[in-house]
A and B are shown apart, each in its own frame.
Chain A
Amino acid sequence: MEKHDGRDAGQIRAGDLKDPWYDELASGWGELDGTGTPTAPAVPAQVAPPERSAADIYLEVQASAAFQEVRRRYRRFVIPAVAAFFTWYVAYVVTATAAPGLMARPVSGAVNVAMVAGLAQFATTFLLTWAYARHARLRRDRAALDLRWTVFEQKREQERKREREQGAEW
C-alpha cells in the first residue's frame, strides 16, 4: 500500500495534494493493514497484584516478552542502518576533502566519481527511508499498538479499583 516511501520521491509534485491516507489518518492508531506479523500475546492483564502503581505497570510491560520483541526488532534495524549510513556519509565527506583527485576520475562523459558518489548518497537516503518505513509498518506497528492498549487497559483497571476501594470506605 504505502508506495510513496521516498523511492518515487522524484514524482512527488507540489500540486499533488491527494494523500491516499488522508482519510485513514483521523483514526490514528486504528489503521492496521492486515499484513502485520502475528505478535506474541501481550502482557496478561489478570495477574495484577493488588497494590500497583503506574510505574509498576511500565516496569512489567518493559519486562514482558512482547515488548522485548518490539525493542529488539527496532534496534536490530536501526543500529546497523545508522552505522552504515553514517560511515558512508563520513567516508564521502572525508574522501571529497582529502582525495579530490580520486573523486575527479571520469566515469562516463562529463560524469565523474564525485558526481556518482553524490547521487548515490541521495539514492541510499531514499532507499533507507523506504526500507525503514516498510520495516516499521510490517514488523513493529501492530505489536506496538497491542502494547499501547495493554498499558491503557491496565491503567484503567487500576483506576477503577481505586474508585471501588474509595467507594467501599464511604
Chain B
Amino acid sequence: MVTGDHQTLALVLFGVFVAVTLAITTYVSRNRQGSAEEFYAGGRLFSPMENGFAIAGDYMSAASFLGISGLIALYGYDGLLYSVGFLVAWLVVLFLVAELVRNCGRFTLADVVAARMRERPVRIAAGTSSVTVSVLYLVAQMVGAGSLVALLLGGTSEAAQAWTVIGVGALMVIYVSMGGMRATTWIQIVKAVLLMAGAIALTVLVLMRFHGDFDQLLRTAADRSGHGEQFLAPGLKYGGDWTARFDFISLGLALVLGTAGLPHILSRFYTVPTARAARRSVVWSIGLIGSFYLMTIVLGFGAAAIVGTDAVRGSNAAGNTAVPLLALDLGGGADSTGGTVLFAVVAAVAFATILAVVAGITLASSASVAHDLYASLRRKHAKQRSEVAVARVAAAGIGAVAIGLGLVARDLNVAFLVGLAFAVAASANLPALLYSLFWRRFTTRGAVWSVYGGLLPALVLVALSPVVSGSAGSLFPGVDFQYFPLENPGLVSIPLGFLAGWFGTVISPDRADAAKHAETEVRSLTGAGAA
C-alpha cells in the first residue's frame, strides 16, 4: 500500500514537525529563570482556550485517532462504545476535580492529598502511584509509536521499530528537560490544532462522498462490512461469553473513572491562573474532545463504507491503518497526487500526536519524581539541589526507562496497556483524591491505604490475568498462573481502592485534623491562598 512517494512526503512532514517543535522549545526557553513554577506549571498564565487545546492535545492520543476509528471500521458499534467512555469521563473531571485541584494544589496530585495529612507517607504513596500510571501510559504510547510509524512508512523491520522508539524517546526528553511545561503546552496546542484540522478535513470529505446523508453512510458501511445489520449494533467484539462482557464493563468503568486520576491531565490545571480558568479550559476541551470523537465515528464508518472492512483488516489486523487508507482513497486513490498528500498528512498528524502525548506524560511523571518522591525521600543533610534540576534528570531517566520497556513490550496490545493505565489511575489515585477533597474524617492512614489498596490489587490482578499467563496470546504462554479471568482489573480494584481508604480511616488511631479540613474545604471552593 505504501510507495516511495508517500514515504518521502511523510518523512518531510515529520521533519517539519520536529523542526517546528524544537524551534518552539528553544524559543520559549530562551530566558527562562528555571523556577519550579516555570518548569512544572509554565508560569500559570495560559488562557483557558490555550489550555483547553493543550488538554485535548494531551488526551487525544494516536490510539484515539487511529485506534478508535480502526475499531469502528472493524467492529462497527463496539468501537463507538470506547469513545463514549473517553468523553463521559470528562464530566467527572469537570464536576469533582478540575477547579478544586487547581485551588488546593501546586504542581502534582500528591499536593492535594498531602495537604491535610502527614506529608511524607502520603506524598510517597501518591507519588509512587502517579509514576506507575505514567510509566504504563508512556509504554503504551511508545509501543504504539514504534509499530505505527513503522507501519505508515512501510518499514516493518524490527530495526525500524526500535529506532523509532529510541528517536521518539530522545525527542520527548529534549522537549521536557529543556522546555518544561511551557514548551510542552505549546507542542500540545500545535498538535491539537493539526489533529482537529486533519479530522475535520477527512470528515467533510467522507460526508461529501455520501452527499451529507449519514443514513446512507451507515447502510453502505453495514453492507461492505460483511456483517450487515449487526455491524450497527453492539456485540461484534464484546458480545461473546460473559467473561468478555464483564471485561468490557470493567474497561468502561476504568475509562470513565480513570481520566480524573491521570497525573498528566491533573497537572494541566496548574497552568492557568485561577479555578475559573481551569473550569473554562475543561469546557473548551470537552467541546474539542467531544467533536473529535463524533468525527472519529464518521471516519470509522466511512472507512468501512469506502475502503471496506476486509481491506482494513488485510492491511493491519488491529485496524490501525483504517484512517490512512481512507485518506488515500478520499484523496483520489493510491496513484494520485491528492491521495499521496492526504496520506502523508495523516501520517504526520499521527506522528505529531504521539510526540506531544509522550512529552506531556514525561513532564508529569518527572514532576512526581522530583516534587513528591525526591523531596520526601532525600536524606535530611544531603546536598540541597534544586527540584527543577532533579526533575530534568528524572525526565531523562524516565525517558530511558520508557525506551527500554517500549522495546521489551513491543508485542503487547496497545489498547490493553492504555486500559490498564486508566484502571490503575481510577483505583489508586481517584479514591485518595476524592476522599481528601470531600470527606471530613479522612486520615493519613486512610489516604495511604486507599492508594496502595487500589494500586496493589490492580497490579496483582493483572499479573494473575490471562494477559500474563495461561493462554496463547499471553506474555508468558508457557506457564499458567492465571487465577483472575478478566483482562482489565478495574471492576474489582476500583471498589477495593475506595474500600481500603474507608477502612483505613475508620480504624485510624488518630482523628482527622478539623482545622486542616477547614482549610482544604475553604481553599478548594473559594480559591483562597491558591498558588
Contact = CB atoms under 8 A, between A and B. Distances in A.
A81 interface: yes
Nearest to B193: A14
Given A29-B274, A109-B215, A92 B84 contact: yes
Contacts of B215: 109-111
A93 B249 contact: yes
Nearest to A106: B229
B230 interface: yes
Contact of B234 (A100, A110, A132, A148): A100
A110 B528 contact: no
Contacts of B287: 4, 6, 8-9, 12, 126, 129
B466 interface: no
Nearest to A151: B528
Nearest to A71: B525
Contact of A25 (B193, B253, B277, B291): B277
Contacts of A47: none
A29 B103 CA distance: 13
A141 B522 CA distance: 14
A50 interface: no
Contacts of B290: 6, 9, 122, 125-126
B96 to A, nearest CB: 7
Interface string A100-119: 10011000011110110010
Nearest to A88: B88
B196 A14 contact: yes
A29 to B, nearest CB: 6
Contacts of B519: 54-55, 58
B139 interface: no
Given A15-B193, A21-B48, A89-B256, A133 B280 contact: yes
Contacts of B88: 85, 89, 121, 125
Contacts of A55: 515-516, 518-519
Contacts of B195: 14
B293 interface: yes
Contacts of A155: 529
B207 interface: no
Grouping DSSP codes into helix (H, G, I), strand (E, B) and loop, the B interface class, with mixed when no group exceeds half, is: helix
Nearest to B80: A118
A92 B254 CA distance: 15
A168 interface: no
A132 B95 contact: yes
A118 to B, nearest CB: 5
A86 B48 CA distance: 26
B522 A25 contact: no
Contacts of B235: 100, 104
A115 B77 contact: yes
Interface in A39-66: 54-56, 58-59, 61-62
21 contacts: A2-B280, A4-B284, A5-B283, A9-B286, A14-B193, A17-B49, A19-B47, A21-B47, A25-B273, A55-B516, A56-B515, A81-B91, A92-B84, A104-B234, A111-B218, A118-B77, A118-B84, A129-B286, A133-B279, A136-B276, A151-B528
B284 A122 contact: no
Interface in B244-285: 245, 248-249, 252-253, 256, 273-274, 276-277, 279-280, 282-284
B276 A31 contact: yes
A114 B528 contact: no
A10 B294 CA distance: 9
B521 interface: yes
B90 interface: yes
Contacts of A17: 49
Interface in B87-135: 87-88, 90-92, 94-96, 99
